[in-house]
Structure 1
Amino acid sequence: MTFRAANATDRPALLELLTQASLLTDDLPDELSTFLLAHEADTLVGAAGLDLVGDLALLRSVAVAPDFRGQYLGHTLVEGVQEAALAHDFTDIYLLTTTAAPFFEQLGYEIIDRAAVPEAIAQTRQFSSLCPDSAIVMHQKLA
């Protein structure tokens, strides 16, 4: 298993993985360097990304191919993007989820009220229009 930052040539495989996981792709950024990818040989098997919003980060697109689930790959990917966020002085990470709150709670994220989200995060496309109002909002302070 190899891990590396994404680049433009990874877009087709990343779109396929996210679509298979029923995750949003409409707002996938042009620049993918804030995404950490996991490959088994030449096959993309996992991804996690950050949208950087001012001095805040929005965790997004955490996906693991079905054959690789249950091996802590998702944990490794999330921890990797968190380390990258800390290295760039980002200390607060937010996320929205409709199905994976227990997974993120295992990683130290806490459910918060939508009204408690900073304006910069609330104005992202994921928060303001793409994710349903029923999505759970979570937060973790890294430092």
Structure 2
Amino acid sequence: MTAFLRQADLTLSGLDDPHVRLWIERDEASDIVGTTGYELSADGGHALIRSVAVGPSQRSRGRGSALARFALDRAVDEGAQRAWLFSRRSGPFWQSLGFEPADRDALAVALAGTHQVRLFRRTGQLAREVAWSRALGDERTASRRRGVPRTG
């Protein structure tokens, strides 16, 4: 999975931490074709969506949206009321899922204990990041209708 996320140019920090929730989608040959995940804030009310990626063969087919919705649903199941993420390149994708531009410092406060925020603060990368956020409610996202990733 590390190589898959590195190829997608996504943050690798904390992937081995038991508090980071990650799912891998594999094809019939057991090759990784997608990933998704999140970390929760210390109080459980905020989720940092991370590691959402699809392989080239799955792009523009709705898999990225399905994987993101799967992570959002799982975060709601754990009690998260707001989702946050960093993305400098994929704003339109995240806007299609209800995310809006957010204050990166507010994200850093809400999710101060997460690996990604700690790394970005330590390296100075936080100042270059673009934050996104959306409320999470009782409504379920479309992943229930579209299926869930096959894990493995």
- Partner deviation per Cα, 1:74-120 (whole Å, 9 max, x = no partner): 00001001111111111111101121111101100111122333624
Aligned to 1:133: 127
Structure with greater proportional strand content:
1
The normalised TM-score by structure 1 is 0.81
TM-aligned CA deviation for residue 29 of structure 1 = 3.3
Q: Which one-letter code corresponds to 1:87 in the other structure?
A: D
Q: Is the 8 A contact 2:52 2:64 kept in 1?
A: yes
1:109 to 99, 118, 121: 99
The normalised TM-score by structure 2 is 0.77
1:31 to 8, 14, 18: 18
RMSD: 1.9
TM-aligned CA deviation for residue 31 of structure 1 = 2.4
Give me the whole-angstrom Cα distance separating, in 2, the residues matched to 1:122 and 1:99. Answer: 23
Q: Structure 1: which 5+ runs fail to align?
A: 1-13
Determine if the alignment matches structure 1 residue 18 to structure 2 residue 5: yes
Q: Which one-letter code corresponds to 2:107 in the other structure?
A: V
Alignment of 1:65-80 (within 5 A): 65-80=55-70
Alignment CA distance shift 1:135-1:82 (3 Å): same
Alignment CA distance shift 1:33-1:134 (3 Å): closer
Alignment of 1:75-86 (within 5 A): 75-86=65-76
Provide the secondary structure at the position in 2 that maps to 1:76.
Answer: helix
Higher RCO by CA contacts (8 Å cutoff, separation 6 or greater): 2
Determine if the alignment matches structure 1 residue 48 to structure 2 residue 42: no
Provide the secondary structure at the position in 1 that maps to 2:127.
Answer: coil
Give me the whole-angstrom Cα distance separating, in 1, the residues matched to 2:63 and 2:19. Answer: 19
Q: Calculate percent identity across the aligned residue pairs.
A: 28
Q: Structure 2: which 5+ runs fail to align?
A: 138-152
Q: Which one-letter code corresponds to 2:2 in the other structure?
A: L
